[in-house]
Chain A
Amino acid sequence: MKFKKLLILVACFFVLTGSLFAMGEKEGSTAADAPVSKKVSLYANITAIEPIIKYYNDKSGMEVEYTRLATTRFVSTILTEMEAKKLTADLVQGPLPILEILRDQGVLSNYKAKAAEGYPDWAKKDGIYQFGIEYVGLIYNTKLVKAEEAPKKYEDLADPKWKGQIVMADPATHATTISWLVGLKEHVFKTEAEWRAFLKGLAANEPMFVASFGPTPAPLASGEKKIGISMPKYIVTHAPAPLDYAKISPMLGSPRAIALTKAAPNPRGGEAFLEFWLGTEAAGQLARDVGEYVLAPGVYPPIPGIDKTKVIPIRELSDEEIQKWGAEFGKIFSLK
């Protein structure tokens, strides 16, 4: 008797779950055919862009909806939604390697943006537009470190005088920090031995680790730590906190990119926003209000000296490289 009930229960469970799945599929199939509306959906990992979106919405009468996706969830969320035919994004914005993965999975459209005509050729490929660089530098607390005491070159961060005074994202897990450290090897240090000596010195200084760049400015602003591997844009977004950056050239960073999706529910709305985003008006706002380093010619964030600093995009590491170097840095920094 009990077994019979169990069978009925299991059958009911599968019928209900199955019908939910079927309804989901049906629902999803209509998403791509939705009528053109004012709504434009942007999936992005860039932060603090709400004022720019509000400006665009007020100006154009459109309703751009900003869904923030952390880099770690970016690909899995978009591919899961696409498989279930539930992807509502007209545009996606994220680090270049992430968008290249999405391109390879057939998510992106090959739209040719007019506003990107003045951009360098390497910044536009297969419908993916690089519009900025997530530049990384050495940020310090100006109340605790005088400008002349700040590092003049990256090796200076390995000086024992910074022992216990550094904050940085976890070099074993934070993909951007891993790429940045590898970028130093490829763009800054002459030999691998010099680079490894720098890493050992940095590890010996026992930096405090946080999960990502986001939590780095707080201990710097409060004086808990004197210097950090962080992003100069925080000098703008955390004003009037006593922060400045070490004037070291070149500065390195991961390219930021944006693209239209192939199955955009509102392709025309998406194109219009993409043109706006790549234009000098939005680039100016990104630089001025968010402190971003943008590729639009002649536009710089309001950080003294940044226009004279060489900022270069680093090579995109493959997944295998990130895992390999993450494990290597974990050993160098003796993570327990």
Chain B
Amino acid sequence: MQRNTKLTWSLLLIVSLLTVAPVIMLILGSFSSSLHSFGNFTFKKYISVYSDPMLLGILGNTAVFVLGSAALATVLAIYLAYMNNRTDIPFKVLFRVLSVVPMMIPHVLFAVSWALLLNPSNGILNMWLQKLFFLSKAPFNIYTIPGMVLVEGLLDLPVAYLIISPAMASFDASLEESSRVFKSGPVKTLFRITLPILKPAILAAFILCVVRGLASFAVPSVLGMPGRVYVLSTFIYRAVTMSLIADYGKAAAIGMSILAISIGLIYVYRYYTRYSDKFVTVSSRGFKPTVVELRGAKAPLFAILIIISSLLIVLPVLTLLYTSLVPYIMAPGREAFSSMSLRHWHTVIKDPVSLRSLKNSLFLGLAGATVGSFLSILISYVIVKVKSRASGFLESISFLSFSFPGIVIGIGFMWYFVRTPIYASIWALFLAYVATYLPYGIRPMTSAFIQIHSSLEESSLVSGASFATTMRRIVVPLLVPGIVSSWVLLASMFFRELSVSVVLSRPGTEVLAVQILRFSEDGQWGRLSALGLIMIAVATIMVVGVNALGARFKPGESREKKKPKNWQAA
């Protein structure tokens, strides 16, 4: 008990230093009349942004955009996770990788590739559909709220998938078997047993997607602005840019609402998962996820998977590949194919800044994700197993930095780190990444922890094992799917992080996303696509490697290898 208390307070201190300090800076900035220093307190910035007549409409747009994209991402993730973990659908390995790869695609690039495919003037897919069905005008317009929901939903899908999938993998099939014994069909079992028990993971995924949607800027900027659809993040951008001297205090003032919503959502999540024993599926009596035979439904469900994968990865990546080969963005045709070359690839490969960016991003991805995952294990343990006010507070503050829109939190870190020796160094990026994206590590871990009954560790402790030994030999091995998910989420976020990096990165500490932004500001879409594809390839290798490593350490793998029909979870 005393050990748990010490751990809780130590973590509170570490997480406070990481997340509370930049937020305090932002709060001070939002109440300061000056644009770059603190003092002369005023409410003017709050009055100015919250009395804007556009705000009401923007809130409406934001609600539809955020809830729509989070719902889409969560539903698709449940489908993918169920198919990949619990059914006999073919090519599972491929679909598992495809479910995660969009994490590596820079959001700007993903949004631009969808604009190229579905813009109403000459979108490649639109033109093709127009010809095919003899339509008088383009059937789709990506510059609308539904278009934004689709693209943001697809971008958030891997996040939701990585949270839901480990929970689905660790599911005790005996519960479903009991349902079947009582003559319930697979669909009824899915909705009455499987999904309710997975509620913590599903809620966690949905909430994370909502928070992510609130902070999203790439999709609202690339697809919303041309269609004149403004949401909170573009409203912040307008508030910041409508002046020669950006007023980040105003942005922070709007950010406070987003922070309040995020914290509210965390409490909603805690409320609905307060009886965590209900969701335990891994206890001392063992667990055995089984495979559902799809039989006649296999072909249509497989077709749906192919469609989702195409939307997620094949179409955008093909568009990137095409853009990286043509001299400028041009409609596909004879001229385009005859002018293809590797010019952009050569430029990128020979560019020292691009290579340095790749090196820095790799370091931040690998080292940052490892440190972040380790911290997440400890924090999640405290959140789930040490249920106290302090652990609730710890959970809330771990979300602090993440809850702010990217444009704003980067400034908070700049105001914080500029007063420390690590300013303008790679360590500033390292700490800011870990602090901002901690929820990506914590969410899958808490979902996984919730499923493990405390009797397992209690038995170990009663048998004389130390806390460290219990964690190492009992808890951590059972958490492998969650740890892999955490690591993959963190690594892929760090590998393509932009919003914090764009503020903190300096010569020598450039990272991939900042270099991609440079290419985008210069309108160099060819180079941008080439570098983007290199980034996707490296990140995919990284993720596949870690998944393979995770599979080797999966609990009971060696024991169950002889019974592959019963044990095919991720």
| A residues apposed to B, CB below 8 Å | 5, 9, 12-13, 16-17, 20-21, 23-25, 27, 41, 47-48, 50, 65-68, 70-73, 75-77, 79-81, 83-84, 86, 88, 95, 97-98, 101, 164, 170, 172-175, 208-212, 214-219, 221-225, 234, 237-238, 240-241, 319, 322-323, 326-327, 334-336
Contact = CB atoms under 8 A, between A and B. Distances in A.
Contacts of B12: 9
A223 B122 contact: yes
Contacts of A23: 420-421
Contacts of B37: 79-80, 83
Nearest to B339: A240
A13 B246 CA distance: 30
Nearest to B225: A209
Contacts of A327: 242
B241 A175 contact: yes
Contact of B525 (A77, A218, A334): A218
A85 B399 CA distance: 31
B531 to A, nearest CB: 14
Contact of A234 (B57, B121, B508, B523): B523
A75 B240 CA distance: 12
Q: Which of B225, B419, B522 has the most CB atoms of chain A within a 10 A radius of its CB? A: B419
Contacts of B226: 208-210
20 contacts: A21-B419, A24-B423, A76-B35, A80-B415, A88-B424, A173-B238, A175-B241, A175-B242, A208-B226, A214-B522, A214-B523, A218-B329, A222-B329, A234-B523, A237-B522, A237-B523, A241-B327, A241-B329, A322-B244, A335-B230
A79 B248 CA distance: 13
Interface stretch (B13-21, B185-193, B440-448, B462-470): B13-21
A75 B17 contact: no
Nearest to A22: B419
Given A222-B330, A238-B328, A238-B523, A24 B419 contact: yes
B419 A68 contact: no
Given A5-B9, A68-B521, A327-B242, 5 more contacts: A9-B13, A17-B17, A25-B419, A222-B330, A319-B244
Q: Which 4 A-B pairs have the closest CB atoms?
A: A65-B507, A241-B328, A79-B36, A24-B419
A222 B523 contact: no
A215 B414 CA distance: 27
A334 B54 CA distance: 11
B228 interface: yes
A324 to B, nearest CB: 10
Given A17-B17, A76-B36, A319-B245, A218 B229 contact: no
A80 B57 contact: no
B241 A72 contact: yes
Contacts of B244: 71, 75, 95, 97-98, 101, 175, 319, 322
A101 B245 CA distance: 9
A223 B329 CA distance: 9
A76 B246 contact: yes
Interface string B90-121: 00000000000000000000001000100101
Contacts of B7: none
Interface in B49-66: 54, 57
Contacts of A81: 418
A102 to B, nearest CB: 10
A21 B245 contact: no
A204 to B, nearest CB: 14
Contact of A75 (B35, B119, B420, B421): B35
A335 B237 CA distance: 15
B230 A13 contact: no
B228 A323 contact: no
Nearest to B505: A67
Contacts of B242: 172-173, 175, 322-323, 326-327
B369 interface: no
Contacts of B240: 72
Q: Which of B36, B415, B508 has the most CB atoms of chain A within a 10 A radius of its CB? A: B36
Contacts of A211: 221, 225, 237
Contacts of A5: 5, 9
Contacts of B112: 218
B520 interface: yes
B331 interface: yes
Contacts of B245: 75-76, 101, 319
Interface in B416-442: 418-421, 423-424
A211 B301 CA distance: 41
A221 B420 CA distance: 46
